[in-house]
Amino acid sequence: MTHVEDEKGGSGAPVDLAPSKSNLTVYFVPGIGWDCFSQWLAPPKTAVKHIRQRGYGFEAVPIESLSSSSRNARIIRDTVMRSPKSATGSRAVLVGYSKGAPDILEAVVAYPELASRVAAVVSVAGAIWGSPLAEDVAFANLAPIRNWPGAKCAAGDGGGLESLLPRERAEWMAENQLPASIQYYSIAALPHPDNISAILRPSYAKLSKSDRRNDSQVLLFDQFIPGSTFLGYLNADHWALALPIERSHRLIGKTIVNRNSYPREALLEAILRNVEEDIAK
C-alpha cells in the first residue's frame, strides 16, 4: 500500500477469515489488449485458486479486448445472465481492471436486468475517466499488441482506444446515471516512482507532465468511480496489479518488467472480504 499524509489509520477491527458463505462470484473484466498476450503470459491463476478455496466463485468475462466499451458491455451482460451460478442465486461482484472498469459501468447502465444480480462493482486501477495516453499517437498504437508472440486477439469493433479517450468517458459519465442499487468501490494504483517497471517509465514520464500521481497508464484521479467507496492506494504500477509477468517470464521480470511482484491473491481476497462485510451490514 501507498500511504498519504491525510490518510486515516485502520480501525483495528477483526476480520472473519473463515470460508465465505455469502455466495459471491467474481466476474473479472480485464483491460485493453488482454487476450492478445494472455497465452504468452500464461498466468498461473493462483489468485483464482486462492479465492475459490475461500468460498468465492470466479469467472473471467471473455471480452473483446480491442472492442469498445459498449460492445464489451453486452458481453458482460450475457456472461452474467447465462451463468449457472447467477441462476442459482449467487450475487455477482464485477471487478474491472483498467479499461474493464468503464466496460462494466456501461454494462450496468445499458442493461437494467443486471441490477438484481450484481451486488457490487469494483474498479481496480480503472480508466474511469479514460487516459491521456489514448490521445497520444506514440503511446496509443495497438498494432504491436496484435503482433505479440502467440497473439490470437480479434480486432472486434476496433473501438477500444476511442472508449479510453478522456472526452469520450467524460461525455458518457455526464449522460448516464449509475444504478443506485449496486455498491461501488474504487482502488487506485499510486506507485512510488522507484516502483515502476523500466518498460513503463516512458509512459509514466509522459503522464507526469500532467500529474506525477499516476500508475504509468492512468492518472490517479481518473481511477475513481463517482460516489464510490475508496478502498486504498496500491504501491504498484499499472501492470503489476494484474499481470504476473515475472512469474511466467523470469528474464523479462528481471530486466524490463522489473517491478512486477505484487500480492495479487491477498488483494483480491481483501476486496471480497470488504464487499462481504458491507453487504452483511
**Which of 159 and 41 is assigned the larger pLDDT?**
159
pLDDT in tens, 154-175: 778 889 999 999 999 999 999 9
Coarse DSSP helix, strand, coil percentages of the chain, rounded to the nearest 5 percent: 40, 15, 45
Sorted by where each begins, the domain ranges of the chain are 24-280
Least confident of 31-40, 173-182, 184-193, 264-273: 31-40
Give the single-character DSSP code of 7.
Answer: P
Task: Give the highest mean pLDDT range of 104-108, 157-161, 259-263.
Answer: 104-108
38 pLDDT more than 80: no
Mean pLDDT of the chain: 91
pLDDT above 70: residue 114: yes
Exposed (0-12), middle (13-18) or buried (19+): which is 279, by Cβ within 10 Å? middle
Enter the CATH code of domain 24-280: 3.40.50.1820
Model confidence over 55-99: pLDDT tens digits?
999 999 999 988 999 999 999 999 999 987 766 678 999 999 999
Cell of 224: 475513481
**CA atoms of 169 and 175, how far apart (whole Å):** 10
> 54 by DSSP, 3-state: which?
coil
**In the predicted structure, residue 13 carries a pLDDT above the cut 90:** no
Mean local confidence (pLDDT), 36-48: 79
Cα→Cα distances 13→43, 81, 280, Å: 34, 36, 15
pLDDT at 148 over 80: no
pLDDT given at position 158: 86
Grade residue 145 by pLDDT with cuts at 50, 70 and 90: low
Over the stretch 115-133, which tens digit does the pLDDT of each residue have? Answer: 999 999 999 999 999 999 9
258: left (phi over 0), alpha (psi -120 to 50) or beta: alpha
User: Contact 108/121 with Cβ under 8 angstroms?
Assistant: yes
User: So what's the pLDDT on residue 253?
Assistant: 87
Ramachandran angles phi, psi of 183, nearest 5°:
-90, 140
pLDDT of residue 142 exceeding 60, the answer is yes
Close Cβ partners of 170 (under 8 Å, ≥ 6 residues apart): 129, 130
CB atoms within 10 A of CB 141: 10
**Model-level pTM?**
0.94
Of 139 and 222, the structure prediction assigns the larger pLDDT to 222
The pLDDT score that the predictor gives to residue 86 is 63
